[in-house]
Amino acid sequence: MKTPAPLKVNKLDLNQRTQLLERLKEESKASHGYYLFLVLSVLITTFGLLLDSPAVIIGGMIIAPLLYPLIGTGMAIVTNNERLLKSTIWLLVKSSGIVIAISALVTFITPLNEITKEIYIRTTPTLIDLLVALASGAAGAYAVSEKERFASLTGVAVAAALMPPLAITGFAIASGKPALLWGSLLLYAANLIAVIISSSLVFSLLGFTPGRTEEKKEAVRRNVTISLVFFILMLGILSVFFVNAIGQTQRRRVIEQTVSVFLANYKDAQLISLTEKQNAGRDIVTVLVQAPSDFYDTATSLLEADIEEQLGSPIDLQFYAIPVNKIQ
């Protein structure tokens, strides 16, 4: 028996393509069940973000019904199906509005409005997030062509690209944190475009075409061009974010190494935590150490000078020490 090539995408025959297109049309329609799962998903995801619980967030993404409208949009672009394109886009717009509204309401009526780690990491998008969304869209499109053997698994990956950023948008609006709003919306837009483009590519490889008329082919080229323009725009923006993230990581590593070397000169001194943030254009480095009570009399100015020398730029050092008294 011949083993199939692991990376080869076999084109579907006419009957398979027709069945898949009809299934996507049916599954991309709004229904009571769709909205029920959407509401439950955003409730669970929002609480997971507020509680800083990855497990709860994953639970919300498992039941999110966003897979079919998203890849249905990709199918509509490839086949120039204007009716399907309009219905899937309208469903995505309504779904996005519902998610934002519910997450904002949950944030407003609960006392949990702190920026957790799970929230923060989704408001600083980078190029890696875009690559993840591309892979998710391709996986989702191929999964539904395999008679849903993997659709439930890839549906989670697609939902992971969209549901949390939308929920964070609602959180940012309700909690009055506009700085988070733009980051979450950028991540959502980038992931949305990436999923649609990659699913369109997979459907094209599976044999879907717009038809033989030149008018339909021109319409597809127009839709693809518009999608690519938005994708390139997002690619450029996220690339800048990615370069900045690398610079911040390297900067933090230099600070940590400088602090560690500095503390090595003092007996019984130990680093507890280190944070860096910007305020009014200045870098504020906060260092918390555990050390003998006489340690921090002169340590602050010396450590600040060492860090500034290594970074080549001025900082404001906030130094805190937990005093330790050696009993014996």
Per-residue model confidence as pLDDT tens digits over 251-273: 888 888 888 887 777 777 777 88
- The tens digit of pLDDT for each residue in 34-52 reads 999 999 999 999 999 999 8
Straight-line distance from the first to the last Cα atom of the chain, in angstroms, rounded to the nearest whole number = 76
* Confidence at residue 98, expressed as pLDDT on a 0 to 100 scale: 95
* Confidence at residue 5, expressed as pLDDT on a 0 to 100 scale: 52
The CATH classification of domain 14-209, taken from the options 3.40.50, 2.60.40, 1.10.10, 1.20.1080:
1.20.1080
For the chain, give every domain's residue range: 14-209, 249-324
pTM: 0.74
List, in sequence order, every residue forming a beta bridge with 319; answer none if it has no partner: 287
Which whole-number Å values give the CA distances from 148 to 59, 153, 197, in the listed order? Answer: 20, 9, 20
When pLDDT is cut at 50, 70 and 90, the band that residue 78 belongs to is: confident
Domain 14-209 and domain 249-324, same fold? Reply is no
Q: Could you tell me how far CA 285 lies from the centroid of its own chain?
A: 27
List, in sequence order, every residue forming a beta bridge with 316; answer none if it has no partner: 284
**142 and 158 Cβ atoms separated by less than 8 Å:** no
Q: How far apart are CA 68 and CA 64, in angstroms?
A: 10
- The tens digit of pLDDT for each residue in 110-132 reads 888 888 888 888 888 888 888 88
Q: How far apart are CA 132 and CA 120, in angstroms?
A: 18
DSSP letter at 111 equals S
Task: With a cut of 70, say whether residue 32 has pLDDT above it.
Answer: yes
Strands 282-292 and 316-324: parallel
**309 and 257 Cβ atoms separated by less than 8 Å:** no
Q: How far apart are CA 20 and CA 2, in angstroms?
A: 26
Q: How far apart are CA 169 and CA 119, in angstroms?
A: 10
Task: With a cut of 50, say whether residue 1 has pLDDT above it.
Answer: no
Domain 249-324 of CATH type 3.30.70.1350: yes
